[in-house]
Amino acid sequence: MSADNKVFIYDTTLRDGAQAEGVTFSPVAKIHVARMLDSFGVDYIEGGFAASNPKDMAFFKDIRKVELKHAKIAAFGSTRRANVKVEEDKGTLALIEADTEVCTIFGKSWLLHVTEVLKTTPAENLAMIEDTCRFLKKHGKEVVYDAEHFFDGYRDSPEYALQTLAAAEKGGADILVLCDTNGGRLPHEVFEITTLVRERFNVPVGIHTHNDSETGVANAMEAVRAGAVQVQGTINGFGERCGNCNLVSVVANINLKTDKHCLADPAQLKNLKQVSQFVNEQANLRDNQRAAFVGDSAFAHKAGMHVDGVRKVSQSFEHVPPESIGNARRILISELSGASNVMEKLIEMGLENIDRKSPEVREILQTMEKMEKGGYVYEAADASFKMLIKKVLKAHKSFFELEGFRVIAEKRSKDEPCVSEATLKLKVGGERAFTVGEGDGPVDALNMALRRALQKFYPSIDHVHLADYRVSILDPEEATAAKTRVHIESSDGETTWGTVGVSENIIEASWEALVDGVEYKLFLDEEKRGA
């Protein structure tokens, strides 16, 4: 490992990340993630626990057929078992069978684990560490030694914890990784102890932190400041309990806020959000809206003062340029909005010729405040707000006119699923359309009927689908008579937009959000055509 201000990124999403509650990667997904991480420029990809399960072993076999550009594949395992010869230890032999360039083993640093968990002696634990490292080195492996529970072990018995590192060094380990396995240490402790270890040993030092105290990333950054040259973690912070150190934040912090770098190609940093989203998709998880750097809210501005400031000088309210990590600024609309927020939306809509002190801007703000008192929320319904602006400015175009709809839900027998049907009448220009739609529920049926009615007139509607549907009860004390707010997220495969509807009747609220969603798509089409 070179010390030219390079910090090596060791990704364990496919092993430690897969141990998180609710996270599972299929065999195909594991290969997809490995390819993505390699393209992104991480240095090590830990593929799984060699002695754990057939799926991990299958990954090691399959990944050998994949031509990687940069990353090394690591197989994970432990030191040999107590009182077992290393050449006869099944776990160690599984590491050899995995046939990876790198082998990562963990050993015990904490006497509590040595005596109470392994039920062995301190001397035997040291022998286990040294023997396993030496055996793997004899087989030509790059050996990463993970000193499990190192910081807790050091607090308990500093001298013994350091002896475990010395045993790994004597066995030939290529790097000593200090692990805050319980995630309980604070940044100043990590810095002090990592500094001491760096001064004591000639072998490079790495860091592996967990997030149980919400300090996983901070601890990793402090270890880097103390001289650690490798950071282990997971994309999006997946991991046991509260998760691991989030490599998304570590990569951004190192590249943008220190004199170090940590990707094979620094230009790949602009793909950071894409990487985060891709891994979530492969794990079948929704993106974290509030994730640092890559969340949709990371550069979202709501208060009028913030919006005004960021328009004038972006760094006044943004710690890094959002585009540097593949994100984008968002201006939110709410009861806290001022003229600056409205102006941002007007500019987005190509209406920058309107002055912020004009009567039109005041009327937009007043209308919005009135609507929000009625239960509307426009933060996640940007499309509905733009439609509201058009109506206030008398620039709204009705692409169709509703004449009426009827929705029925029917359950024909106790063993059959409930089915819904919607009939819809509307007029486009001077032509009437009458359609019927069926769906899993009344809103789905209404959506299908609306799309069928409009397909003849607006073929692009075929590309629109509902990406999300959420219902909120605004006044639960009213029970079944409560006012309902419906948020719908729509997408045409290129753009995603949100709309909102409010009514005491959930179907009517849904219809309102559906109509805004369709009209916004048609509005986008007209913009593209230069209409």
Q: What is the pLDDT of residues 292-309, one digit of tens each?
A: 999 999 998 877 788 778
What spatial distance separates the first Cα and last Cα of the chain, rounded to whole Å? 59
Per-residue pLDDT reduced to its tens digit, 268-282: 999 999 999 999 999
Q: Which amino acid belongs to residue 503?
A: S
Question: Which is higher by pLDDT, 151 or 392?
Answer: 151
Q: Say what the pLDDT of residue 343 is.
A: 83
Residues whose CB is less than 8 angstroms from the CB of residue 251 and which lie 6 or more positions away in sequence, other chains included: 9, 262, 263, 269, 272
**Contact yes or no for 236/280 (Cβ under 8 A):** yes
pLDDT of 2 over the 60 cut: no
Q: Say what the pLDDT of residue 331 is.
A: 74
Per-residue pLDDT reduced to its tens digit, 355-369: 878 888 889 888 988
pLDDT of 482 over the 80 cut: no
Per-residue pLDDT reduced to its tens digit, 144-197: 999 999 999 999 999 999 999 999 999 999 999 999 999 999 999 999 999 999
Residue span(s) of the chain under CATH 3.30.160.270 come to 401-529
Confidence of residue 354 (pLDDT cuts 50, 70, 90): confident
Tokens of 464: 């629109």
Residue in 117, 176, 126, 119 with CA at minimum distance from that of residue 147: 176
**Contact yes or no for 179/148 (Cβ under 8 A):** yes
Instruction: State the DSSP string of 189-203.
Output: HHHHHHHHHHHH-SS
Residue in 90, 23, 103, 91 with CA at minimum distance from that of residue 60: 103
CA gap 497, 522 in Å, rounded: 12
Rg of the chain taking only CA atoms, in angstroms: 29
> Which class for 531: exposed (0-12), middle (13-18), buried (19 or more C-beta within 10 A)?
exposed
The whole-number average pLDDT for the span 464-493 is 84
CA gap 288, 179 in Å, rounded: 26
pLDDT of 480 over the 70 cut: no
3-state secondary structure of 2: coil
Q: In sequence order, what are the beta bridge partners of 208? A: 179, 232
Q: Say what the pLDDT of residue 45 is.
A: 98
pLDDT of 372 over the 90 cut: no
CA gap 347, 164 in Å, rounded: 62
CA gap 296, 380 in Å, rounded: 11
In CATH, the number for domain 401-529 is 3.30.160.270
CA gap 237, 241 in Å, rounded: 11
Question: 119-127 long-range contacts, Cβ below 8 Å, gap at least 24?
Answer: 119/82, 120/82, 120/83, 122/160, 124/82, 124/83, 125/79, 125/82, 125/164, 126/163, 126/164, 126/167, 127/167
Tokens of 41: 């420029």
Q: Give residue for tokens 């689908």.
A: 465
The whole-number average pLDDT for the span 337-366 is 82
Q: How many CB atoms lie within 10 A of CB 132?
A: 29
- 3-state DSSP of 433-461: EEEEEEECCHHHHHHHHHHHHHHCCCHHH
CA gap 205, 64 in Å, rounded: 28
CA gap 357, 310 in Å, rounded: 19
Residue in 450, 472, 469, 470 with CA at minimum distance from that of residue 521: 450
The mean of the pLDDT values for the chain is: 92
- How is residue 338 annotated by DSSP? -
Q: In sequence order, what are the beta bridge partners of 408? A: 421
Q: In sequence order, what are the beta bridge partners of 359? A: none
Q: Say what the pLDDT of residue 336 is.
A: 58
- The structural architecture, per CATH, of the domain 10-282 is Alpha-Beta Barrel (3.20)
Residue span(s) of the chain under CATH 3.20.20.70 come to 10-282
Q: Say what the pLDDT of residue 40 is.
A: 98
Q: What is the pTM of this model?
A: 0.77
Confidence of residue 476 (pLDDT cuts 50, 70, 90): low
Tokens of 82: 């107590």
- How is residue 13 annotated by DSSP? T
Q: Which amino acid belongs to residue 113?
A: H
Confidence of residue 41 (pLDDT cuts 50, 70, 90): very high
Per-residue pLDDT reduced to its tens digit, 106-153: 999 999 999 999 999 999 999 999 999 999 999 999 999 999 999 999
**Contact yes or no for 357/491 (Cβ under 8 A):** no
Confidence of residue 425 (pLDDT cuts 50, 70, 90): very high
At CA 302, angle to CA 218 and CA 294, rounded to 5?
A: 40
CA gap 302, 379 in Å, rounded: 8
If you count them, how many residues does the chain have? 531
Q: In sequence order, what are the beta bridge partners of 431? A: 428
The whole-number average pLDDT for the span 11-16 is 98
Q: Say what the pLDDT of residue 529 is.
A: 77
Confidence of residue 3 (pLDDT cuts 50, 70, 90): low
The whole-number average pLDDT for the span 369-384 is 86
Element (H or E) spanning 113, and its range? Answer: helix 111-116
pLDDT of 249 over the 90 cut: yes
Q: Which amino acid belongs to residue 103?
A: C
**Contact yes or no for 21/59 (Cβ under 8 A):** no
Lowest model confidence (mean pLDDT) among 190-194, 319-323, 384-388, 478-482: 478-482
Q: Say what the pLDDT of residue 478 is.
A: 66
pLDDT of 10 over the 90 cut: yes
Confidence of residue 79 (pLDDT cuts 50, 70, 90): very high
The whole-number average pLDDT for the span 474-491 is 81
3-state secondary structure of 362: helix
Q: Say what the pLDDT of residue 341 is.
A: 77
Instruction: Classify the phi-psi angles of 333: left when phi > 0, otherwise alpha if psi is within -120 to 50, otherwise beta.
Output: beta
pLDDT of 332 over the 80 cut: no
Per-residue pLDDT reduced to its tens digit, 198-248: 999 999 999 999 999 999 999 999 999 999 999 999 999 999 999 999 999
Tokens of 68: 């990687």
